[in-house]
């Protein structure tokens, strides 16, 4: 085994997850059990509140409403309709951000038993489609901050392999050392600016796009967003009111971006 993850990376991510559902509601329940023993009514009410929040924030109905509310603050991008894009020759490259790796993919031994996550594949598919439309070169970016095995592939390498072998899309540049969105932008900048490229199309999920665009802009790029992952339902089924992994995941994704938005604004205005 060859561990490459760091204590700082682990602490940062554990803290972030502790401030999001479902762990946030778990800590609330633990607090009530440990410190509210002498106030039984308040303890029971807090436990019931924790369970209710766990249920509600794990539903599709809540995740969709929460996404809409958060968008009023963060301002999600609109979908990019290819045939409505005006020709702009100064934009010279497409950058696709990694969306995660699935380990233990025993059906893919030639990929070191790794696969691109569902979210990552959505980004790759959109990138491949846009390449066919625009004929622009591609940079993929993603490292492996939680690497635990020497044979594991950096996400950027795996992304390039899937794009070329499975989606028939050539990859010109691979950035494989970044561990977060800021590093995606910084390390990609070092590659692309050597090629004289400062205008890019950026592919990632809509909920990640505002923060990603901000980081790439700070790194000196002019960015046109190519967002993916939009979901909206005008009508709900009874199942949408039940806790589900899909509802919880969307809540977590948006919650994470909302935390980053709040932290960014606190840095700008410490008072």
Q: Which distant-in-sequence residues (6+ apart) come within 8 Å of 103 by Cβ?
A: 113, 114, 152
d(CA 1, CA 4): 10
CB of 80 closer than 8 Å to CB of 225? yes
The two beta strands, 114-116 and 173-175, are unpaired
pTM (two decimals) = 0.93
Predicted confidence pLDDT, tens digits, the chain (271 residues): 345 677 887 888 899 999 999 999 999 999 999 999 999 999 999 999 999 999 999 999 999 999 999 999 999 999 999 887 776 778 999 999 999 999 999 999 999 999 999 999 999 999 999 999 999 999 999 998 877 777 889 999 999 999 999 999 999 999 999 999 999 999 999 999 999 999 999 999 999 999 999 999 999 999 999 999 999 888 999 999 999 999 999 999 999 999 999 998 888 765 5
Name the token pair of 42.
């308040």
Which domains occur in the chain, in start order?
A: 7-75+241-268 (no CATH), 82-228 (3.40.50.620)
d(CA 133, CA 266): 40
Q: Of 119, 170, 113, nearest to 142 (Cα)? A: 119
Handedness of CA 227, 167, 116, 160 (dihedral sign): negative
The single-letter DSSP state of residue 241 is G
Q: Is 164 exposed, middle or buried (0-12, 13-18, 19+ CB in 10 A)?
A: middle
- Identify any residues that bridge with 200 across adjacent strands, giving them in sequence order: 93, 223
d(CA 169, CA 164): 5
d(CA 36, CA 238): 35
Handedness of CA 237, 242, 245, 248 (dihedral sign): positive
């Amino acid at each position: 085994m060859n561990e490459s993850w760091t204590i700082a990376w682990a602490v940062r991510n554990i803290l972030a997850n502790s401030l999001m559902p479902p762990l946030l509601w778990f800590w609330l329940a633990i607090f009530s059990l440990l410190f509210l023993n002498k106030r039984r009514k308040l303890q029971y009410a807090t436990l019931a509140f924790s369970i209710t929040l766990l249920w509600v924030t794990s539903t599709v109905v809540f995740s969709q409403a929460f996404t809409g509310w958060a968008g009023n603050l963060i301002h999600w991008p609109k979908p990019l309709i290819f045939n409505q894009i005006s020709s702009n020759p100064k934009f010279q490259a497409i950058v696709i951000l990694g969306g995660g790796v699935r380990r233990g993919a025993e059906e893919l031994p030639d990929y070191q038993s790794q696969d691109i996550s569902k979210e990552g594949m959505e980004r790759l598919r959109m990138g491949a489609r846009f390449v066919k439309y625009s004929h622009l070169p591609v940079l993929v970016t993603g490292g492996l901050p939680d690497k635990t095995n020497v044979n594991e592939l950096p996400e950027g390498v795996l992304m390039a392999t899937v794009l070329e072998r499975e989606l028939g899309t050539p990859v010109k540049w691979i950035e494989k050392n970044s561990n977060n969105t800021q590093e995606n932008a910084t390390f990609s900048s070092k590659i692309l600016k050597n090629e004289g490229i400062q205008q890019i199309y950026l592919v990632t999920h809509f909920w990640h796009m505002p923060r990603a665009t901000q980081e790439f802009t700070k790194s000196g790029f002019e960015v046109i967003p190519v967002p993916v992952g939009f979901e909206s339902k005008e009508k709900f089924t009874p199942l949408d009111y039940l806790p589900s992994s899909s509802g919880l995941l969307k809540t977590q994704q948006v919650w994470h971006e909302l935390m980053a938005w709040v932290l960014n604004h606190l840095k700008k205005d410490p008072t």
